[in-house]
């Protein structure tokens, strides 16, 4: 369980806080989406949940962030890494183990955790299956495409069996096919494990099918925090510069055009839109 209480954070030398008075409770096993315009604080929130704020980026903060019984500000990054996993945008920069094969790349984090060879082999096999990259196991991580590398990065983090998985725009640099592969892997994870997932995503039409809850950030504050349908269809999304899916926009335009449409709630997915317009 993630508990954030009155958390504010200033990057070193900055006057304005990147995050302001964040209050958040995310129960174990929830899949939470985070949206916001560029500069709203999404990446900072990811860093705060995984301990990079304050341990890596330093700066000033108020309030607390707690992951289960760990107070993030008081737990060194080396220890937090086993509890909270972070996957970010650039696939290539996450291939970091200086290893020859994907299998060894995945083992890198496990070796740092001091696991036995047997345990490592079990986890590697599990995670290759979970993420769907068995055929890549003996290939060089550097010879892979961006989408493949991103899945290797995801597998490497999942092998560490974190209680919380934080993803900062994991599909931003990927083409549609690779995006689909990454989302499938996440779907598999959610079905099989009790991991809490927090995912920052711009591709709103994908988000609604996955998440239990959406948090919208604007200028460092949480402005919306509710079910995907309620948040993603809110007109405030447009005001905050986040936008809405085409499904929602069309429905909103149709309603403005005084077409008689029964459902009151605007659709955010394809299926909802089809029902809305029928």
Partner 1 sequence: MQRSTLFIQGDRGLYRLHPLSKLAITGFLLVAAGTAPNLSLLLLGYLLLLLPLAVWSGLLHPFLKSSLLVITPFVISLAVIQGFFTPGQIILLQLGPFTFTLEGLLSGLTVAGRILLALGGTLLLMLSTRPDHLMLSLTQHGLPSSLAYIVLTSLQIFPRFQDRARVIMDAQQARGLEMRVNPLKRMRLLVPLMGPLILGSIVDVEERAMALEARAFSRSGPKSSLIVLRDSFPQRALRGLLLLGMLSLIAWRIWAVFSL
Partner 2 sequence: MRLRWENISFTYPTGVRALDDVDLTIASGELVAIVGENGAGKTTLVKLLNGLLRPDQGEVWVGDWNAAEHSTAELAARVGFLFQNPDEQLFERTVRREVAFGPRNLGMTEKKIRSQVNAALKAVGLDAQAERHPYDLPVSDRKMLTLAACLAMDDPVLVLDEPSIGQDAAGRARIGRILRDLHTMGRTLLLITHDLDFCAEYAQRVVVMADGHILADGPAAQVLAQNEVLERAAIIPPQLVRLAQGLGLPSMPLNVRDFVRVYSAWRRKKKKH
Task: Return the number of the residue (6 or 78) whose C-beta is nearest partner 1.
Answer: 78
Question: What does the longest C-alpha to C-alpha distance in the chain come to?
Answer: 66
Task: Return the number of the residue (12 or 257) whose C-beta is nearest partner 2.
Answer: 257
Strand order in the sheet with 164-168: 84-87, 164-168, 196-200, 31-36, 213-218, 221-226
> Which neighbouring-strand residues pair with 67?
2, 70
- CA separation (Å) from 19 to 40, 47, 165? 8, 11, 20
Q: Taking CB under 8 A as the criterion, which residues in 47-106 touch partner 2?
A: 89
Q: Out of 10, 31, 52, 247, name the contact with partner 2 by CB under 8 A.
A: 247
Task: Return the number of the residue (120 or 273) whose C-beta is nearest partner 1.
Answer: 120
Q: Which does 28 bind (CB under 5 to 8 A by kind): partner 2, partner 1, none?
A: none
**Radius of gyration over alpha carbons of the chain, in Å?**
20
Kindly state whether residue 242 participates in binding partner 2, applying the rule CB under 8 A: yes
Burial category of 39 from C-beta neighbours within 10 Å (exposed 0-12, middle 13-18, buried 19 and up): middle
* Nearest distance, CB of residue 262 and partner 1, angstroms: 48
Task: Return the number of the residue (25 or 93) whose C-beta is nearest partner 1.
Answer: 93
Q: Which does 173 bind (CB under 5 to 8 A by kind): partner 1, partner 2, none?
A: partner 2
In contact, 48 and 19? CB cutoff 8 Å: yes
Task: Using CB under 8 A, list all residues that contact partner 1.
Answer: 50, 52, 56, 76-79, 81-82, 85-88, 90, 93-100, 103-104, 107-117, 120-121, 140, 142, 153, 156-157, 160
Q: Which does 178 bind (CB under 5 to 8 A by kind): partner 2, partner 1, none?
A: partner 2
In contact, 147 and 182? CB cutoff 8 Å: yes
Q: Which does 205 bind (CB under 5 to 8 A by kind): partner 2, partner 1, none?
A: partner 2
φ and ψ of 186, to 5 deg: -65, -40
In contact, 156 and 88? CB cutoff 8 Å: no
Q: Which does 56 bind (CB under 5 to 8 A by kind): partner 1, partner 2, none?
A: partner 1
Q: What is the total count of residues that contact partner 2 (CB under 8 A)? A: 35
Q: Out of 77, 145, 209, 235, name the contact with partner 2 by CB under 8 A.
A: 145
In contact, 157 and 125? CB cutoff 8 Å: no
Task: Return the number of the residue (82 or 146) whose C-beta is nearest partner 2.
Answer: 146
Kindly state whether residue 278 participates in binding partner 2, applying the rule CB under 8 A: yes
Kindly state whether residue 178 participates in binding partner 2, applying the rule CB under 8 A: yes
Please tell me the distance from the alpha carbon of residue 133 to that of residue 101, in angstroms, as a whole number: 13
- The residue ranges that bind partner 2 (CB under 8 A) are 36-39, 89, 145-147, 172-173, 175-178, 180, 202, 205, 238, 241-243, 245-247, 249-250, 253-254, 257, 259, 270, 273-274, 277-278
């Amino acid at each position: 369980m993630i508990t954030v209480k009155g958390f504010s954070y200033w990057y070193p030398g900055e006057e304005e806080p990147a995050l302001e008075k964040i209050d958040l409770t995310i129960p174990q096993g929830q899949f939470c989406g985070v949206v916001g315009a560029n500069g709203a604080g999404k990446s900072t929130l990811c860093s705060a949940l995984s301990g990079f704020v304050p341990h890596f980026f330093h700066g000033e903060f108020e309030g607390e962030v707690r992951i289960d019984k760990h107070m993030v500000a008081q737990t060194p990054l080396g220890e937090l890494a086993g509890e909270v996993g972070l996957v970010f945008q650039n696939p290539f920069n996450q291939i970091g183990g200086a290893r020859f094969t994907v299998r060894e790349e995945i083992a890198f984090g496990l070796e740092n955790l001091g696991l036995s060879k047997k345990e490592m082999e079990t986890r590697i096999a599990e995670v290759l299956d979970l993420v769907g990259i068995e055929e890549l196991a003996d290939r060089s991580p550097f010879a892979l495409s961006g989408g493949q590398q991103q899945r290797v990065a995801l597998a490497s983090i999942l092998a560490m069996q974190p209680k919380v998985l934080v993803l900062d725009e994991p599909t931003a640099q990927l083409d549609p096919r690779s995006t689909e592969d990454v989302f499938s892997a996440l779907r598999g994870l959610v079905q099989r494990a009790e991991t809490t997932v927090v995912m920052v995503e711009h591709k709103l039409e994908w988000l609604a099918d996955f998440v239990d809850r959406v948090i919208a950030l604007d200028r460092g504050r949480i402005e919306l925090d509710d079910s995907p349908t309620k948040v993603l269809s809110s007109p405030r999304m447009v005001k905050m510069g986040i936008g809405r899916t085409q499904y929602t926009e069309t429905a909103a335009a149709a309603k403005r055009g005084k077409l008689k449409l029964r459902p009151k709630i605007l659709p955010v997915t394809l299926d909802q839109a089809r029902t809305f317009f029928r």
